[in-house]
């Protein structure tokens, strides 16, 4: 039994996994159970104001621990770096394009966005980096599944919306992409573009069955990013981005960013080293940014969040 959220994208991702398992093991029956998470239920509240981690995963993890499902398919960027006791990431799939992209029905690109353009996004990470690049932009909170966001963009007269390229491509919306956000402007969310299949750590049979879907190169890169995030203790309430890329010589470049909620202060850094030291590179990058002032930024954000002012 595969567990998933009920959005169009989540179902696409889970059915993608299901279809591959059915090809590998045609004699077995694979069923999908849809489970609504906290993040799915509270669509009228910015994620940063809901608070807590695992907003899109907790209910799925409860179902895993209760034995109602055997595996849960997540967008890796939604999965907290600390998992409940007894659960593990069984497999990580090959990464789709990790960039953020601009969608518009007005044929607007990043360079042609007018002054004061109204752009929809649900992400503090995107807001902070975009404001740092273009303080004049009006960034509007926008939540819901991809179809809902596109419809809200049109009804609200927004100039465009920013989404993860991976989801847009998986749903076949390539023609709606008007531009990609260069990494120099906006680093993606940790793990963006990859899928994580989570399950019970003692379920060795399922872990073995999932190995053909596991992509080790992607797993190593996102391990660096998740070690970076774990060291900073971040979640959806904090503007943190990261991207790890490996070359053909076994070397990894990890870029990371920490910003304040308004995008007035932004720190970027990168670390390079052997792919085999991915997690250590993530921890080193976090320590470097903290020492440069990132720790103070995070402390200020934590204070505002505790006081109920986490939404930006």
pLDDT tens readout for residues 114-166 = 999 999 998 999 999 999 999 999 999 987 788 888 889 988 889 999 999 99
- DSSP characters for 14-40? HHHHHHHHHHH-TTS---EEE---HHH
Selected residue with higher pLDDT from 190 and 304: 190
DSSP, collapsed to helix, strand or coil, labels residue 223 as: helix
Would you call 9 helix, strand, or coil by DSSP?
helix
Q: To 5 degrees, how large is the angle CA 15–CA 20–CA 26?
A: 110
Active site residue 78: yes
- Checking if the pLDDT of 54 tops 80, the result is no
Q: Residue 181: count other Cβ atoms within 10 Å of its Cβ.
A: 20
The helix/strand/coil state of 100 is: strand
- 75 near 195, Cβ under 8 Å? yes
pLDDT value of position 50: 45
Torsion sign, CA atoms 211, 216, 219, 223:
positive
Query: What is the CATH superfamily name and number for domain 100-180?
Result: Periplasmic binding protein-like II (3.40.190.10)
What's the CATH fold of domain 216-312?
Answer: Double Stranded RNA Binding Domain (3.30.160)
Considering 78, 100, 159, 260, which one is annotated as catalytic? Answer: 78
The domain ranges of the chain are: 1-93+194-214, 100-180, 216-312
Per-residue confidence (pLDDT) for residue 311, from 0 to 100: 39
Residue with the larger pLDDT of the pair 179 and 146: 179
The pLDDT assigned to 307 comes to 57
* This prediction's pTM: 0.91
Question: 3.20.20.70, 3.40.50.2300, 3.30.565.10, 3.40.190.10: which CATH number matches 1-93+194-214?
Answer: 3.40.190.10
Residues 256, 198 contacting (CB under 8 angstroms): no
């Amino acid at each position: 039994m595969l567990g998933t959220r009920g959005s169009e994208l989540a179902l696409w991702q889970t059915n993608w996994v299901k279809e591959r398992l059915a090809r590998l093991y045609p004699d077995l029956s694979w069923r999908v159970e849809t489970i609504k998470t906290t993040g799915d239920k509270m669509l009228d509240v910015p994620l940063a104001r809901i608070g807590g981690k695992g907003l899109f995963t907790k209910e799925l993890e409860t179902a895993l621990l209760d034995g109602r499902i055997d595996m849960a398919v997540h967008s890796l960027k939604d999965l907290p770096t600390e998992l409940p006791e007894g659960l593990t990431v069984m497999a990580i799939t090959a990464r789709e394009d990790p960039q953020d992209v601009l969608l518009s029905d007005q044929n607007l690109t990043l360079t042609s966005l007018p002054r004061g353009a109204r752009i929809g996004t649900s992400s503090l990470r995107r807001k902070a980096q975009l404001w740092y690049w273009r303080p004049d932009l009006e960034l509007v909170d926008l939540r819901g599944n991809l179809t809902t966001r596109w419809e809200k963009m049109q009804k609200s007269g927004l100039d465009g919306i920013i989404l993860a390229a991976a989801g847009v491509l998986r749903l076949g919306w390539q023609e709606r992409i008007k531009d990609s956000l260069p990494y120099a402007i906006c680093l993606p969310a940790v793990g963006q573009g990859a899928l994580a299949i989570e399950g019970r750590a003692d379920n060795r049979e399922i872990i073995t069955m999932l190995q053909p879907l596991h992509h080790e190169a992607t797993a190593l890169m996102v391990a660096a990013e998740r070690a970076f995030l774990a060291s900073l203790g971040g979640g959806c309430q904090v503007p943190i981005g990261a991207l790890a890329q490996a070359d053909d010589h076994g070397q990894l470049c990890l870029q990371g960013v920490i910003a304040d909620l308004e995008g007035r202060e932004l720190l970027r850094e990168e670390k390079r080293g052997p792919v085999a030291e991915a997690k250590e590179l993530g921890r080193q990058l976090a320590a470097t940014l903290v020492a440069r002032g990132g720790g103070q930024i995070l402390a200020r954000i934590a204070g505002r969040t505790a006081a109920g002012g986490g939404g930006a």
